[in-house]
Amino acid sequence: MIRHNTFRFKAPAGLLAVCGLLFGLLACDNLHVTRFYENGAVVSAAPIATQAGVRVLENGGNAFDAAVTVGFVLAVVDPEAGNIGGGGFAVMRQGSSGQITALDFRETAPAAAAETMFLDDSGNVIEGLSLIGAKAAGVPGTVAGLHAIWERYGSLPWEDLVRIAADLADSGFAVDERLAESLADNADSLKRFPETARVFAPTGVTPTVGEKFVQTDLAQTLYQIAAEGPDAFYRGSVAALIDSTMRVHGGLITREDLDSYEAIWREPIHFRFDSLDIYSMPLPSSGGIVLGQILKLLEPVDTSPWSPDSPEYIRLLVESCRLAYADRSAHLGDPAYYDVPSGLLDDSYLAQRRDLIPEKGIGSSSHIGPGAPLRSEPEETTHFSVCDADGNMVSLTYTINGWYGNLLVVDGAGFLLNNEMDDFSIKPGVPNQFGLVGGDANKIEPGKRMLSSMTPTLVLHNGQPFLAIGSPGGSKIITAVAQVILNLTRFNLTLTESVNHPRAHHQWVPEVVRVEQGGYSVAVIQRLIREGYDIEEVKAIGNVNVIMVEETGMMQAVADRRRAGSASGY
Ligand code: GLY
């Protein structure tokens, strides 16, 4: 049964402020408390990156300047996902004009890429080829993307913003617990290629907690990018190093691929949900469309009798996700290569789709499309948000796809390449590392951008800044973002509660509901199982980093408790 909506909005700003301040005073872990900032706020996956961004703001930079620095610093201190060898997306608001734009700096397939490049002569997938080594890499977009942000909106000199990261790589930084653990957990993988081992295990083992981690080659690369801009990366000395690495390791990226790479400005996906205006990433990220479908499918539902733990709510959330991810698999891909239907967010279309949700019990993915087996699913990618007092907002998600990308450091350049080619549908019906399947819309074609789930999103209320939100987590990014928005606006949780509340996920195939380990009570899980759902426990569903702007202009920043991120401001 679908009930009709009674809209409930967030608790009054004053009440939230009091709750947040009390929480701030009582909490010991300063990485995960809510704080309030008047002038600007940054939230990212790494304390050093967050602090670097705040210093840029304090020194007169705007949110876009700070985002450029955070992006480059994450490439130094968060090498699992922070990058210059990958790509991503950003949704941004310029305070002075109120204009909202979306920037696509997704990787592209090299010109020599072919639909069957990851298949053997019998048409079977060659295990690991789309994930490890040179062939797995798409043409990186991060440097072009960060430069495009700066070129359009930045106020401080490019060189100064990038040098902050270069200096950090050059002088080194003390490895924190999270990075030490991540490097140790991935030590075997990081020794797969000698150059990668030289960078990440310089003494034969990966750096431990407190050890100074110096990245001399990366520093040189960043100094060149600081001095010459993207030309250094796409046409100059860095391009030459990428080219020679590709030749040695049998990769496809050429000097021409690098030279022709461009970040693309796009119209954001815009939709209304309750009284909010939501702006999110358009194709080639599925994030905006799938987020829009999930929220709009749920919009007429009266959630007021429920909490985010109510099995009735979880059932409708799951069924909405099932429908949205089914459309993702069939209809979404790079719009330059595939004729994507334009009506995916139309009210009439979504009303028809909503009618497919059963009155009771569970839906069936096989009735609306094919199934597929599950493979292991990492949680990679990283998201950061920056807001300033002038109403500028940046929501940026970027990635090298898997943890440490394709595991291949560019010889002499000190940075890892992505394994984003795996985000294409490498064979119809064969799931990628996130268990997602696709078909023609997302098949490999030269120059094409692979479909993404990254969902950098801005939310406005009454035309004013409200949220800058996003998450890593592969296919689970979109459901994580949707649930935080729902927790905050439908269930009146505080921002911290909204982020930290347990989450559920369904992506059409495999036909299973993922729930966070220990997140829901046994009674809730039993009820869902009785309804007929297969339940699978996973460690985490996304890692949402969000800034909320109060009506007063005060900013709260929250880093998800699921990873050791950090929120700060001034
Ligand atoms: N590489 C994960 C994504 O783009 O969705």
- Residues 280-291: pLDDT tens digits? 999 999 999 999
Quote the pLDDT of residue 428: 84
Q: Please indicate, yes or no, if residue 335 is contained in any of the structural domains.
A: yes
Q: Please indicate, yes or no, if residue 544 is contained in any of the structural domains.
A: yes
Catalytic site includes residue 245 = no
Q: Please indicate, yes or no, if residue 427 is contained in any of the structural domains.
A: no
Neighbouring residues of 181: CB distance < 8 A, sequence distance ≥ 6: none
Quote the pLDDT of residue 379: 57
Q: Please indicate, yes or no, if residue 339 is contained in any of the structural domains.
A: yes
Among 319, 326, 277, 275, which Cα is nearest to 298's?
Answer: 319
CATH number (domain holding residue 276): 3.60.20.40
Quote the pLDDT of residue 34: 57
The token pair that represents 542 in the structure block: 């996304």
Neighbouring residues of 461: CB distance < 8 A, sequence distance ≥ 6: 275, 276, 277
Is it the case that residue 370 has pLDDT exceeding 50?
no
Indicate whether residue 507 lines ligand 1 (CB < 6 A): no
Q: Please indicate, yes or no, if residue 461 is contained in any of the structural domains.
A: yes
Domain that holds residue 305: 1-108+139-172+262-403+448-570
Q: What are phi and psi of 440, to 5 degrees?
A: -55, -40
Q: How many domains, the chain?
A: 1
pTM: 0.92
The token pair that represents 562 in the structure block: 């699921």
- Judged by average pLDDT, the poorest of 232-241, 295-304, 435-444, 556-565 is 435-444
CA of 453, closest atom in ligand 1:
5
Is it the case that residue 103 has pLDDT exceeding 60?
yes
Q: Please indicate, yes or no, if residue 144 is contained in any of the structural domains.
A: yes
Catalytic residue among 196, 221, 381, 382: 381
Quote the pLDDT of residue 56: 98
Is it the case that residue 308 has pLDDT exceeding 60?
yes
- What is the spatial distance between Cα 285 and Cα 10, in angstroms, rounded to a whole number? 29
Nearest CA owner, ligand 1 atom 1: 401
- What is the spatial distance between Cα 366 and Cα 326, in angstroms, rounded to a whole number? 10
- pLDDT tens for 37-64 read 999 999 999 999 999 999 999 999 999 9
Quote the pLDDT of residue 25: 32
- Residue 8 pLDDT class (50, 70, 90 cuts): very low
Is it the case that residue 378 has pLDDT exceeding 80?
no
Is it the case that residue 30 has pLDDT exceeding 70?
no
Indicate whether residue 381 lines ligand 1 (CB < 6 A): yes
Question: How do 40-44 and 566-569 pair as beta strands?
Answer: antiparallel
- What is the spatial distance between Cα 208 and Cα 179, in angstroms, rounded to a whole number? 8
Q: Please indicate, yes or no, if residue 228 is contained in any of the structural domains.
A: no
Nearest CA owner, ligand 1 atom 2: 474
Quote the pLDDT of residue 12: 38
Among 168, 180, 200, which Cα is nearest to 53's?
Answer: 168
The Cα-based distances of 217 to 206, 214, 236, 419 in angstroms read 17, 9, 15, 21
Q: What are phi and psi of 105, to 5 degrees?
A: -120, 45
Detail the DSSP E strand segments found in 38-147.
40-44, 87-93, 100-105
* 471 CA distance to ligand 1 middle (Å): 11
- Residue 15 pLDDT class (50, 70, 90 cuts): very low
- Residue 380 pLDDT class (50, 70, 90 cuts): confident
Q: Please indicate, yes or no, if residue 541 is contained in any of the structural domains.
A: yes
- Residue 105 pLDDT class (50, 70, 90 cuts): very high
Mutate to test the pocket of ligand 1, among 89, 423, 476, 479 (most ligand atoms within 8 A of CB): 423
Q: What angle do CA 545, 551, 556 make, to 5 degrees?
A: 25
Is it the case that residue 366 has pLDDT exceeding 80?
no
251 alpha carbon, distance to own chain's centre: 26
